[in-house]
Structures are given as C-alpha cells and as structure tokens.
C-alpha cells in the first residue's frame, strides 16, 4: 500500500505540468502571441486539401463526436465484464472532462476561426471539446490497457492506437476550420490532466478495496 501511495504522489506531476502548460497557453492566446503560429499550422494542415481528404477528416472528427463518446460509455456499462473495471473510470472521466470543457469555454469565450469552415459548430473555440474529451477518453483507455492487458506487445499496440486516434481527431478539427491549433493543444493538455487525475484517485481506491478484502 505504501508503494502505491508513493506512486500516486510521484505521478501527480503528470497533472500539474500539463495544467501549468495549459495556463501558459491560455495567457499566450489572450495576449495574441500565437496567431502567427496558428496561421502557419492551419496553412500546413490544409496544404493538400481535397474532397477525398475532406471526407476522411469528417469521418475522423465524427469518431470524436459527443454521441460517439456516449455510445462508448454506454456500451461499457452494458457489458457486465467491463462495468466495474472499465466503465466507471471511463464514464467519470468523460463527465468531468465535458463539464470542465463547458466551464473553460465560457471563461475564455474565444471565437472560432474566421476561415473556411467545412462543418458547422456554434460553441466557443478554446479549448477544443473534441480534443479535450477524446484526449481524456483515450488517455484513460491507455492507462487501463497498461493496468489490465497482459503482454508488452499488446500494450504498446493498443496504447499506440489510442495516441493515434487522439492526434487524428485533434488534427481533423484544424483541417475542418473549426479550431485553431492552440485550441487543440489546450484540449489535449487539460484532457490528459483530467484523465490522470481520475485514474490516480480510482486506482488508489481499488488498492484500498483490495487491502480491505484481504483483511476481511
């Protein structure tokens, strides 16, 4: 138990560092110091724009839609095998991330890019909800993979898929013209921090339950 508590305290930096970086990014955006980079990032992203690529990006971005995330959570809840081990931490992570994203958007009230928008969005821009919620979701999946899946090869492959999906969904938001690069990076940072925070609390509670069961 002592070892697990030390592990949690050590890994709290995985929450603190991205949160600090998010705060710094928010200040830079507010000061207008990132506009040049964001313009460059958008131009690079859409350099090879085509109808075919646009359809791919729309498909990828829809993989990160709220309805898809909800379906994933409900599916995990329905399956008895995953209900306690996976569904609970994943669902709590998504609820926390979505609520926090709503609050942050209304604090920063950043308008969406005034460029070619290939899909319609109406809420504020910073931080990106797609980037934040999916970073939280797939970070939690990666953590659970590391905890429950046996075999290094399987762990690496499944965790890599989680990383690729997170990056691809964020990238699609820039390509489709509904988010600045700063919105996406900010979403990744705070989504990652939320997931680590929930995982450490949940994992510590699981260890306590196991200890109590052994004592009984």
Say if residues 131 and 188 touch (Cβ distance below 8 Å): yes
**pLDDT averaged per 10 residues, the chain (length 216):** 49 93 97 95 95 97 95 93 88 97 97 92 94 97 92 94 97 97 98 96 77 62
Per-residue pLDDT at 203: 86
Helix (H, G, I), strand (E, B) or coil at 32: coil
The CA distances from residue 94 to 18, 35, 84, 120, 136, in Å, are 18, 30, 16, 23, 7
Per-residue pLDDT at 132: 98
Maximum Cα interatomic distance, the chain, rounded to a whole number of Å: 64
Half-sphere exposure of 20 (CA within 13 A, CB side): 6
Domains for the chain: give ranges and CATH numbers.
11-210 (1.20.144)
Per-residue pLDDT at 126: 97
Per-residue pLDDT at 80: 87
Instruction: Report the candidate in 24, 7, 5, 10 with the shortest Cα–Cα distance to residue 190.
Output: 24
Per-residue pLDDT at 106: 97
Q: 141: how many CB neighbours lie within 10 A of its CB?
A: 22
Torsional sign, CA 99, 42, 169, 176: positive
Per-residue pLDDT at 55: 97
pTM of the model: 0.90
Say if residues 139 and 192 touch (Cβ distance below 8 Å): yes
């Amino acid at each position: 138990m002592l070892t697990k508590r030390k592990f949690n305290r050590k890994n709290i930096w995985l929450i603190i560092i991205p949160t600090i970086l998010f705060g710094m990014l928010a200040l830079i955006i507010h000061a207008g110091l990132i506009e040049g980079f964001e313009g460059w990032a958008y131009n690079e992203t859409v350099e090879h724009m085509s109808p075919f690529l646009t359809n791919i990006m729309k498909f990828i971005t829809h993989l990160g839609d709220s309805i898809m995330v909800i379906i994933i959570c409900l599916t995990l809840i329905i399956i008895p095998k995953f209900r306690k081990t996976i569904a609970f931490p994943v669902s709590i992570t998504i609820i926390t991330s979505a609520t926090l994203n709503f609050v942050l958007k209304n604090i920063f009230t950043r308008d969406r890019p005034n460029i070619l928008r290939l899909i319609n969005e109406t809420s504020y821009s910073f931080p990106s909800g797609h980037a934040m919620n999916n970073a939280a979701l797939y970070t939690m999946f990666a953590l659970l993979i590391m905890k429950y899946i046996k075999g290094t090869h399987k762990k690496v492959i499944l965790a890599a898929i989680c990383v690729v999906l997170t990056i691809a969904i964020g990238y699609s938001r820039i390509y489709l013209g509904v988010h600045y690069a700063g919105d996406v990076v900010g979403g990744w940072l705070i989504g990652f921090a939320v997931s680590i925070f929930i995982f450490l609390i949940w994992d510590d509670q699981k260890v306590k339950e196991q200890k109590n069961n052994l004592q009984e």
